[in-house]
Amino acid sequence: MKKSLLITIDGPAGSGKTTTSRMLADRLGYRYIDTGALYRSVAVEVQRTGTSPDDDDGLKRLCSTLSIKFVTGEKGLRILSQGSDITDQIRASEISMLASAVSARPVVRKYLLNLQREMGRGKGAVFEGRDMGTVVFPDADVKFFLNAFLKVRARRRYLELASTSSQTLAKVEKDMQRRDENDSSRSLAPLKPARDAIIIDSSELSADKVVERMLSFIEDRLHPSNPDLAK
């Protein structure tokens, strides 16, 4: 696949976005950008500086001092904030909730909107998030929206966390449902599929199958068998 595309993958927690976005980026030789990690990094800084997630002036001041970067090193893709590696810290469960809270604040979204668009320059990237196809990159070349039943998503997240956390499946499911409600009901850039997104339900599909499906949609977009149906 020669042309450099900008591809977006949105969807709720546990829908398989991260695994499939990484695999897809790998198959295409593109950069992979996890925008949830950016919101999580802001949450880590909010916690570290004792900023209240409701204090818009405080959040604005904080954002104006932030420097968040992805780097690829010996340990794979890492995220640095203010020069420190916070890749492991951003996955803590209290950071998940705090990230969901700060992501509803307009000042934080505005700061990250600019950062994400900057990262998207030059294309050749797969962007994973909640509002990639609707707000950040409305003109993306191909947009996917991944979904799966809550029970399936909770089970996936529970198995992922099992080695590092003692949370029960019921607690993981409850937290996930709360976070879904926060992310979908906020007034600014709520989680929802873009009108032109390709919706894939991953409840009964392996990650490999999802990626195969995505690749075939991308191929079709590049070389439509019926050009009248193409974008």
Q: Which residues bind ligand DC (CB under 6 A)?
A: 13, 35-36, 39-40, 99-100, 103, 129-131, 179, 183
- Our CB check for ligand DC shows the closer of 13 and 28 to be 13
128 within 8 A of 33, measured Cβ to Cβ? yes
Q: Which amino acid is at 3?
A: K
- Our CB check for ligand DC shows the closer of 175 and 211 to be 175
3-class secondary structure, 136: helix
- Map 45-80 to HEC letters: HHHHHCCCCCCHHHHHHHHHHCCEEEEEECCEEEEE
Q: Smallest distance from the beta carbon of 145 to ligand DC, in angstroms?
A: 13
Q: Smallest distance from the beta carbon of 220 to ligand DC, in angstroms?
A: 26
Residue 7, beta-bridge partner list: 126, 142
Q: What are phi and psi of 186, to 5 degrees?
A: -65, 150
| Residue nearest to ligand DC as judged by C-beta position | 36
Token reading at 63: 């954002």
- Our CB check for ligand DC shows the closer of 40 and 143 to be 40
Q: Smallest distance from the beta carbon of 38 to ligand DC, in angstroms?
A: 7
Q: Smallest distance from the beta carbon of 136 to ligand DC, in angstroms?
A: 7
Distance of alpha carbon 213 from alpha carbon 5, whole angstroms:
17
Q: Smallest distance from the beta carbon of 39 to ligand DC, in angstroms?
A: 3
- Our CB check for ligand DC shows the closer of 99 and 198 to be 99
Give the strands of the sheet with 84-85, arranged side by side. Answer: 68-73, 76-81, 84-85
- Our CB check for ligand DC shows the closer of 146 and 218 to be 146
